[in-house]
A = this chain, B = another copy of it.
């Protein structure tokens, strides 16, 4: 079904929205390449200007001059907790409930291990087939390794609630779907999970820094999230994880490396987990990447999450409206929910030639991405995106579709990452 919107905008009217935007000054805190409209901050966030100088300081002063002393003197050793506590403020967690460590995948392994250990008499992990694949892959790896017959049960998003039975050990879902941008009902599904005696493990990869999240209010048990998307932490930035305080002492996670030990520098041969969230650390943190993440998080803390959400919805709403009014005849099928309460900070359209169209668009300086088999994905990051960028992106997309410039071999040849 295609809604036909009245074309009530012009480029000039859109520019007025930027003039009234309270977040507009934040854009100046980012480095953005000239001529590019970046609609892929949901895949890799843009570079905060502060990061470059901070990394130079970490490299030259802290590593170069301070050398090993910087673990104490520059606060490296506390960085996973310090940055975790900052992220906690973005996702409605309390101090001591979030820590930065490893990758999202590795953190999923830790937290899912916790969930299964806390429900030893249950065997079902409930998720959706369109969950981000690495979450499913990690669950499959864990199930294989545990070897006691756990089942990864996949049901459509709208069947999750009814599928939460007393067989389920853990609900393991992503808050905002990476393909469609659909938001799952965190408070409702968590409540339903708890009613059935299951734990709720949420992946915040497309939520943290993109929209308000309140883990505490929703009574969430466990969560993981990504540092390199809306937190603008840089390519492959360390990830984070959340364990509600009530569960922290109940389980010692299997990736029990020295950084999660009660006394890492006592060098005793037996593992004893640290108190609190620190037991979810494993090896030595990648400090350069972690320092970059902290810059991104600091910037986000300067803005108000309610304002970010407001602008995010205005941007996605504008994009949908402009595509549907200005590109009506090109067969783009909206994948993202029209209901704004169910929409993350991205808009996806399906098209049989989506891959080639996206390559042509990237070639033209509008960077979105493509998710197999046919989804063109556009991320809208309120901190550095203008309303006029949305207008201009649609204009460039229109030209590509009108002139069919996407229809050439160079744009159809698949690359490893898009």
Instruction: Give A residues with C-beta under 8 Å from B.
Output: 31, 33, 36, 38, 40, 43-44, 46-47, 51-52, 55-56, 59-60, 62-65, 67-72, 76-77, 102-106, 109, 113, 129-131, 133-134, 136-138, 140-142, 144-148, 154, 179, 228, 234-239, 252-259, 261, 265-271, 282-290, 292, 362, 367, 369, 371-372, 415-418
Contact = CB atoms under 8 A, between A and B. Distances in A.
A256 B102 contact: no
26 contacts: A46-B64, A46-B67, A47-B59, A47-B60, A63-B235, A71-B417, A72-B416, A76-B235, A102-B283, A103-B286, A105-B257, A105-B259, A106-B255, A129-B269, A134-B258, A137-B261, A140-B256, A145-B146, A146-B146, A154-B269, A179-B267, A235-B288, A236-B287, A267-B371, A286-B288, A288-B288
Contact of A68 (B43, B286, B416): B43
Contact of A65 (B33, B105, B130, B253): B33
B136 A269 contact: yes
A259 B59 CA distance: 28
> A144, A253, A257, A265 — which one has the most chain B CB atoms within 10 A of its CB?
A257
A417 to B, nearest CB: 4
A254 B142 contact: yes
Nearest to A283: B103
Residue from A72, A113, A288 whose CB has the most chain B CB atoms within 10 Å: A288
Contacts of A287: 234-236, 289
Contacts of A234: 59, 63, 287-288
A96 to B, nearest CB: 18
A256 B141 contact: yes
Main secondary structure of the interface of A (DSSP, over half): mixed
Given A266-B372, A283-B103, A283-B104, A59 B67 contact: no
Given A234-B287, A255-B141, A367 B59 contact: no
A109 B255 contact: yes
A246 to B, nearest CB: 22
Given A103-B257, A234-B59, A416 B288 contact: no
Contacts of A267: 133, 179, 371-372
Nearest to A258: B134
Given A103-B102, A145-B254, A282-B105, A69 B362 contact: yes
Given A137-B258, A288-B234, A68 B56 contact: no
B46 A51 contact: no
